[in-house]
Structure 1
């Protein structure tokens, strides 16, 4: 045991306020694990929500565990000290329940690494009656749990506020009745929104394509996503205050879900329907944040879509606080919102057209036109904001070479406009390769060839570097293409993940794929058939695949889908 590591965790806890810490042995310990650093994990609002939800029960003591920084990792490995929690420095293997928060595919490698560091058997099939139950929730768990089906015992499909209380009740019932591990898995599988992968058998043809998913006796035929009907019943805000976070704000969630129907966006489908918190509830949370004297970070799919955003801005600034937003849409942004952000010290206004041409924005059903971008820029310039950022994607379905030219042209014209208005600031383009996601209309489409995307990145960079104060930032294609495999991967990709872990991590993934008899080209570039069986087909998001396929056909025909509205029954979620 490295006692210095234990002391450092105690010091980290001493720098926090708002944490829960219960005497050992008085409640069921649950490890809430974020498979990345403390700095990143403590900026995740979902972690705060579940942490408070569990600790407010009278039978659970939830403690947080994070991936150590690189220097600390070496010390854990060299001293064979098990990974420990922040609150009580409890070894990971001593928790009866280990709950991961899954937000990003690349963190899957960290999941396996953390289990190994915590002295927990990585493979679910090898765990015994004495081993912890490993569960996982979050966006990645909801839309496709299969790549980690060999590691995680049970997945939370949907929103934790609805599922976790029933899950904990079922787990305690299983303990009280002395159920075996297998009996317990069958028992918790009856909880709505809990998916136990070992209760489903995947069948393949000679080419290795998935042909059927068979539910074993006792398992539900389908697992339906669960979601909060009334957000006001579950206020969501920062719980533990610390200075050591990526976003050093007091986070408040204004809304959940999105009804804009952007065809590339998994969140827009897997978190329907769009729901807003009432202004009264958010205002109370703002007042509760006063004592912390921190900038308010408003969270939601598009803050500018919040119906009472102007009133909320006045409330925050009226209390003497400053604010920031997770995102806004250029077609719904208001002068009051932009002015409030400028008053709060915002230096860069971010817009997300996602594509440069009108045609491509029609393909993805973005709903934002150039006039919206120029209007948002004008609002920013008038408010004193001098820098702007555009989020864009390359390699979208139906994309053509001229769509790359359109990005270059749009960037130049936006920069011209900045200069015409006397702004000497910077225009930054953040460009990412498009990754097809499950439960979206583009789940059938191949990922664009990597050579094409690298060529497009090079063209953008070379053309726009000629212009002063335009910066092009591109995501690493290498990492994006690993994400592309994992996002739609099934259990065979899961086997490659496990092998990559044994071989050293993400850098060994390509080799592991090959050794498992899998082709990267097959996983990335193959167009899926309309009736193809997908690894996530036993999950029910509330809408049919026919609905999604109709949206794909509309994308090819450049046809728009209007946003969600009250009384709408198009997709089936409502």
Structure 2
């Protein structure tokens, strides 16, 4: 796998603690995950620790139980840390344990089996559904905690002897660590999450760069802001990942300068930032000779200037998140977003040379009816027709469509989740309506396509591409 590395590979030493960071999906989706890269950087700096990564392999791979760089079996690791960013990869997490020969239930693992540590947004919201499968669950941000965890492991594995029970008892005393074997599986009481870190002290950015990812080009990513202050009622970020923190201008510029040594493409991740500040950041990248990329945008934080800059830099797609119908946006806390404003963004985007447009929707929200599914379909067709009227018939309209997973600590935490067969029914109804409208509909269970470099001429014109995990559960 061709990669550019900011940190050179450590020489292999079997006496070092082998701490492997695992992402429960394929390399092309997992490499861009900044959580893995940030924690790798932290582990790399700790003496006597040998970090490596693991990504899900295809079923026919001969190395599907091996870690990425040192090619030893994952089950020979001392500690395996899984990042679980969204519910759709939970089954992959268990699958990895199984295919690598690690008993997937913690109660079945022996002293010589790896310690399984789980973190990420899903865990921080609610670790209980997967509590039987992990030894330690990190509640909150792990940049500072990971060193304490390693030091405890060192202290408990002196002279080749290791007592797992004693180790887990000590870990349970660390702030932010839920240990099912100690705390139990029900009513474990108050476990405080880790203290929010200073992201200027621990900035999140790429240390591995490859074109063999969903981006399709070598991309250096920077987390410009962590957290969000918008508090949408279904979202974890504005309620649990607080406070929202933004990089200082000096820190941001230093990271851009580092990134440009390895890649001309700089991608920024942020939520809810004022467009004036974003414009300044994009202009700095452009002034340094870089090409900018941005992810999904909140409509009320998107300016024409931002769209123009990314269009001139060659970004292929702009994505916004209407989430649902205008009626239900009042329920979820996005009542300021109007369909007419989205159509205006479609026009600006096409006029700025961005061929593709993306929309994110959630189905299964409280108070949703078949009328809302009809209105979602009608609006998708309206956007498609807007693109066509602007001469952009070859551009893709990509629809990210998934069901609501109610998050603890949010106003929707007690909302009912619709059953998979019901979600499948609503999806098929939507597809049927789009098809009857005369549109070519392609459905993929892949993640939303982020590749920039592809032929602008599609085999399909007037295309609506639906990206969904519905039907895979």
Q: TM-score range by the shorter chain?
A: 0.7 to 0.9
Structure 1 residues 24-423: aligned runs within 5 Å: 24-25=13-14, 27-72=16-61, 75=62, 83-176=65-158, 180-202=163-185, 213=187, 215=188, 221-247=189-215, 248=217, 249-302=219-272, 305=274, 308-356=277-325, 358-366=326-334, 367-418=336-387, 421-423=390-392
Distance 2:174 2:46 in 1: 18
CA deviation profile, 1:37-65 (whole Å, cap 9, x unmatched): 22222121111111111111223111112
Whether contact under 8 Å (1:39, 1:245) holds in the other structure is yes
Aligned equivalent of 1:8: none
369-378 or 312-321: which moved more?
Answer: 369-378
Name the count of aligned residue pairs: 444
Distance 2:108 2:423 in 1: 41
1:38/1:410 CA distance change after superposition, 3 Å: closer
Displacement of 1:199 in angstroms is 1.6
Distance 2:167 2:297 in 1: 44
CA deviation profile, 1:89-140 (whole Å, cap 9, x unmatched): 2222322212112223343333333333433333211223333211111122
Distance 2:141 2:258 in 1: 24
Whether contact under 8 Å (2:25, 2:92) holds in the other structure is yes
Displacement of 1:260 in angstroms is 1.0
Aligned equivalent of 1:534: none
Larger radius of gyration: 1
Distance 2:391 2:91 in 1: 48
Structure 1 unaligned residues grouped into runs of 5+: 1-11, 77-81, 203-211, 216-220, 483-574
Displacement of 1:463 in angstroms is 3.0
If asked which structure has higher relative contact order (CA below 8 Å, sep 6+), I would say 1
Whether contact under 8 Å (1:460, 1:472) holds in the other structure is no
Aligned equivalent of 2:466: 473
Distance 2:78 2:278 in 1: 43
Distance 2:110 2:418 in 1: 43
Distance 1:351 1:243 in 2: 24
Structure 2 unaligned residues grouped into runs of 5+: 440-461
Aligned equivalent of 1:514: none
